[in-house]
């Protein structure tokens, strides 16, 4: 049996699933027969679920331990287990360090790092002795820092070490849980629309697509579609990567070289 065919019937929870990489991942996993719990901070954005799919929308604030406990309780009560956790929720910011309010620094770290800690903590608890796979979305910016985005780069660098530490704990504790981080370079997601400099690029060039092209021309690397990132997530949650844990998989066209 193909490693991808073996995914049918597995239970997956995906965070950040209202848009971007999270949504693309949830749709791709569902297309391979997985049962999907699609979560995000605000449920109304989760509108693209397939017809007749085993797909449940849930509101989940990844910064809240209580919210994680409640979400996992729902999954275990309804399905009896969790097999896969994909943690794609995250936020970004763009401002030089001297101009970054401390509250903004804390907002980025709280979501990207604290949220990942809670995802891994409660993911391990839910997967337990039966095992499974956890994939966390990192960023090439956690390796090659982005000027004007210190909080974001710092949070993603820390996420990678957290994943490695968690994977080591599971291995040494003989838990059959694989934990990896997937770090893309630029991805065309709605996250960019929140950044003033990107809004200015859109005004200057006429569209988001042209703004991405302008950033590529200025050395920002190749910007990919969320669906391309989702393909790598699919690999990491499948049995094709059954011997892979504690690694950071870069998909960046060599951007960090």
For the annotated catalytic residues, the residue numbers are 152
Q: Are 82 and 72 in contact (CB under 8 A)?
A: yes
Please enumerate in sequence order all residues whose Cβ is within 8 A of that of 126, keeping only pairs 6 or more positions apart, or say none. Answer: 72, 75, 76, 81, 82, 85
CA dihedral (206, 212, 213, 214) in degrees, to 10, reads 70
193: exposed, middle or buried (Cβ count in 10 Å: 0-12, 13-18, 19+) = exposed
Q: Which two tokens stand for residue 93?
A: 């910011």
Helices 226-237, 20-31: axis angle to 10 degrees equals 50
Beta bridge partners of 14: 38, 86
Q: Which two tokens stand for residue 63?
A: 């910064």
Could you give the 3-state DSSP secondary structure of residue 246? coil
């Amino acid at each position: 049996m193909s490693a991808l065919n073996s995914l049918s019937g597995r239970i997956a929870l995906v965070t950040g699933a209202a848009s971007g990489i999270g949504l693309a991942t949830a749709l791709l996993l569902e297309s391979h027969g997985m049962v999907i719990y699609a979560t995000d901070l605000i449920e109304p954005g989760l509108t693209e679920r397939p017809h007749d799919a085993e797909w449940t929308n849930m509101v989940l604030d990844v910064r809240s331990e209580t919210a994680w406990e409640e979400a996992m309780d729902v999954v275990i009560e309804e399905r009896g287990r969790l097999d896969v956790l994909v943690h794609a929720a995250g936020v970004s910011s763009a401002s030089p360090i001297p101009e970054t309010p401390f509250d903004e620094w804390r907002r980025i770290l709280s979501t990207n790092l604290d949220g990942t800690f809670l995802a891994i903590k409660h993911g391990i608890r839910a997967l337990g002795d039966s095992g499974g796979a956890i994939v966390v979305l990192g960023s090439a910016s956690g390796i090659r820092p982005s000027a004007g985005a210190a909080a974001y780069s710092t949070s993603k660098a820390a996420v990678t070490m957290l994943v490695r530490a968690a994977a080591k704990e599971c291995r040494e504790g003989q838990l059959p849980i694989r934990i990896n981080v997937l770090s893309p370079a630029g991805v065309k997601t709605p996250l960019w629309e929140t950044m003033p400099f990107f809004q200015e690029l859109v005004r200057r060039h006429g569209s988001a697509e042209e703004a991405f092209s302008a950033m590529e021309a200025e050395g920002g690397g190749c910007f990919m579609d969320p669906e391309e990132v989702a393909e790598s997530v699919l690999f990491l949650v499948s049995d094709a990567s059954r011997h892979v844990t504690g690694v950071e998989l870069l998909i960046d066209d060599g951007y960090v070289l």
